[in-house]
Amino acid sequence: MQIRDLPYSDPGEPDVRSGPRFLYWLGRNQLAGQLKSLAWGLLHQCGIAGLPLTVGLAVQAAVDRSGSRLAVAGALNVLLGVAIALGDTMLHRTAVTNWITAAARVQQLLARKTAELGSALTRRVAAGEVVAVSTGDVEKIGWFVEALSRFAAAAAALVIICVGLVIYQPALGVIVAIGVPVLALAVLPLLPRATKRADIQREKAGRATELASDTVAGLRVLRGIGGEELFLGRYREASQEVRRAAVRSARMWSLISAVQVLLPGLLLITVVWYGAHLALAGRIAVGELVTVYSAVTLMLYPLQHFEEIAMAYSFSRPSAKRAARVLALRRVTDPAGTDTGVPSRPDSAKAPCGDLYDPATGLLAPQGRLTAVVCGDPDAAGRLAARLGGHAEETGDLPSVLLGGVALDGLALDGARSAVLVQDKDPVLLSGTLRELLDVPSSGHIDAADALTAAQCGDVLEALAQASVDADGDPMRTRITERGRSLSGGQRQRLALARSLVTDPEVLVLDEPTSAVDSHTEARVADGVKRLRTGRTTVVFTSSPLLLDLAERVVFVHDGEVASVGAHRELLHSDARYRAVVTRENDDEVRQTTKLTSFEDLEKVEESA
């Protein structure tokens, strides 16, 4: 796999049973790249390992005053230099390719999982954790995949050097062959403590980041109550805890680095001392001593990869664990045909038609009609709206919502999403131009202009035209900032509504679509939605009398069950609990309005509310 071939056509099905298993699965899928990197690493490491031999030959040739052997040694040095340069260059190229392709695979898996779960992802996993996995954790996982092949090449080179030294000079080679494994394994007892301290540091850093985000998000409120100094003090304390944890972690890694320097130094001193005695006794030649000394010195370089792979694994293991936890999330029913791309409008076989019915609450939304749903509990309304959209996370052990007698949980994900679209109470606007915002999979029956008009977005278009950098002031080409922060809450809400209307799904579920607009705009929005959705099934969760009065059917849900069904004015007269929710009456007012009999009196109560 090359970088130019990204993204993967299919990133595969990961093993998410644990962090180490996920890393093993990732490395196995990068096997071809790992083998290439290993081959170039062996060329690089063996070239370095061959330098002591040529240096020893050159020294011995100079001692023996042999010009021909000195020339041969020089030629071998040149060849080894070319091999080292070529191997190092290609090793870096292939290792970085492994890093990038592994990170891309993980990011594609996360993107596919996000598309599969939709907005339910952040209800099951903190949004900060998803961001951490898709950014910092992906880099750490890629680092381990990249370091793995270089470590394997370094380990193979050490074995080759030890075996070569035993054959070349057994007296010194045996000492080196015994000492090198000790050096490589000496840091193992320190790794668990170092890993634990690194985990504590990351945990504290995550808490400090979360505290900072909450403080910035609520800065206006904090200033209003004079609490910014209190929260600033908390952040100072949290940041100091991060600093202390980082210092403790750095001390342990410094100790590991010191061990990696001290023990090879002791081995080198031992080899030189013993080799000098052998040379004085005439048992080895000076060139042989130089060769062994040079080989032990150059061994320090591949030994560094043992420390690196230990650090890479200790940092990537918790990252892989978090990634596996996110990727392990599943819908209750795993739909076939899930696509990671933007789905197009499926045919009628994939998008069933008919009444929308929830067996758990008894809610029925007849096909082609505007149904308003009133819930006393806003959180319960949000959960019910998610259920109507086929979100299996909100279903649990409850029966699936039916559309035309077909269970939404049994449909493929793209079919369910195109059949029923749910607009949350707080919809998200992605950054980009207004044209890009409205360029969504749709039936093609409703254009952007009609949707913007129905959602009463005239003032939004004027604001975008004034902010446009084009000479013609085209609002459709004006960029909207991230999450629409440059717009007011009501403007964002209406743009999201226009996007939903453009999609033109078989069933549109709106959760409080006009909660951030004034009553005059709300009345025009309600009329526009009803006009544009004629003949389509629309369900609106609201307690606004303006929307309720335009609905063809009003359903009142109380304590998780349908309590009453009818027209808005009829329910005001017949159901005191419904009236209490819609008109915000207290108990005394409910008893008083229960005695009213004329619609004119009811209208007065409603208007006063």
- pLDDT, one tens digit per residue, over 466-507 is 877 665 678 888 888 766 777 888 888 999 999 999 998 889
Top-confidence residue, 270 or 410: 270
- Could you give the CA distance from residue 380 to residue 29 in angstroms, rounded to a whole number? 44
Confidence band for 110, pLDDT divided at 50, 70 and 90 = confident
Last residue of a domain, one of 566, 582, 598: 566
Is there a single domain that holds both residue 399 and residue 273? no
We report the CATH number of the domain holding residue 415 as 3.40.50.300
Tokens of 121: 């992802």
Residue 22 inside a domain? The answer is: yes
Residue 180 inside a domain? The answer is: yes
- Could you give the CA distance from residue 328 to residue 322 in angstroms, rounded to a whole number? 10
| Sheet with 370-375: strands ordered across | 420-423, 507-511, 537-541, 370-375, 553-558, 561-566
Is there a single domain that holds both residue 81 and residue 158? yes
Is there a single domain that holds both residue 250 and residue 130? yes
Is there a single domain that holds both residue 527 and residue 379? yes
Number of domains, the chain: 2
Is there a single domain that holds both residue 321 and residue 455? no
Provide the residue range defining the domain that includes 42: 15-327
What is the tens place of the pLDDT at every residue in 130-143? 766 777 788 888 88
How large a percentage of the chain has pLDDT more than 70? 83
Q: What is the pLDDT of residue 411?
A: 72
Residue 602 has pLDDT above 50, yes or no: no
From the number of C-beta atoms within 10 Å of its C-beta (0-12, 13-18, 19+), residue 561 rates as exposed
DSSP letter string over 263-315?
HHHHHHHHHHHHHHHHHHTTSS-HHHHHHHHHHHHHTHHHHHHHHHHHHHHHH
Residue 603 has pLDDT above 70, yes or no: no
Is there a single domain that holds both residue 316 and residue 375? no
Is there a single domain that holds both residue 440 and residue 507? yes
Confidence band for 387, pLDDT divided at 50, 70 and 90 = confident
Secondary structure element (H or E) that encloses residue 553, with its range: strand 553-558
Q: What is the pLDDT of residue 595?
A: 45
Of 574, 572, 532, 576, which is closest to residue 548 (Cα–Cα)?
572
Of 356, 510, 496, which is closest to residue 434 (Cα–Cα)?
496
Is there a single domain that holds both residue 472 and residue 401? yes
Looking up tokens 């990961």 gives 14
Is there a single domain that holds both residue 166 and residue 203? yes
Is there a single domain that holds both residue 117 and residue 258? yes
Residue 588 inside a domain? The answer is: no
Top-confidence residue, 353 or 594: 353
Residue 592 has pLDDT above 70, yes or no: no
Helix (H, G, I), strand (E, B) or coil at 33: helix
Q: What is the pLDDT of residue 498?
A: 92
Q: What is the pLDDT of residue 364?
A: 93
Is there a single domain that holds both residue 382 and residue 296? no
Is there a single domain that holds both residue 320 and residue 361? no
Confidence band for 599, pLDDT divided at 50, 70 and 90 = very low
> What residues contact 306, with CB distance under 8 A and at least 6 apart?
151, 154, 155, 184, 187, 260
Phi, psi at residue 482, to the nearest 5°?
-55, 130
- Could you give the CA distance from residue 271 to residue 289 in angstroms, rounded to a whole number? 9
Which alpha helices (DSSP H) does 420-457 contain, by range? 434-438, 448-454
Residue 578 inside a domain? The answer is: no
- Could you give the CA distance from residue 575 to residue 556 in angstroms, rounded to a whole number? 9
Residue 9 inside a domain? The answer is: no
What is the tens place of the pLDDT at every residue in 274-309? 888 888 888 888 777 877 877 777 777 777 787 788
Residue 1 inside a domain? The answer is: no
User: Across residues 66-78, what is the average pLDDT?
Assistant: 87
Residue 579 inside a domain? The answer is: no
Residue 575 inside a domain? The answer is: no
We report the CATH number of the domain holding residue 96 as 1.20.1560.10
Confidence band for 336, pLDDT divided at 50, 70 and 90 = very low
Please provide the size of the chain in residues: 609
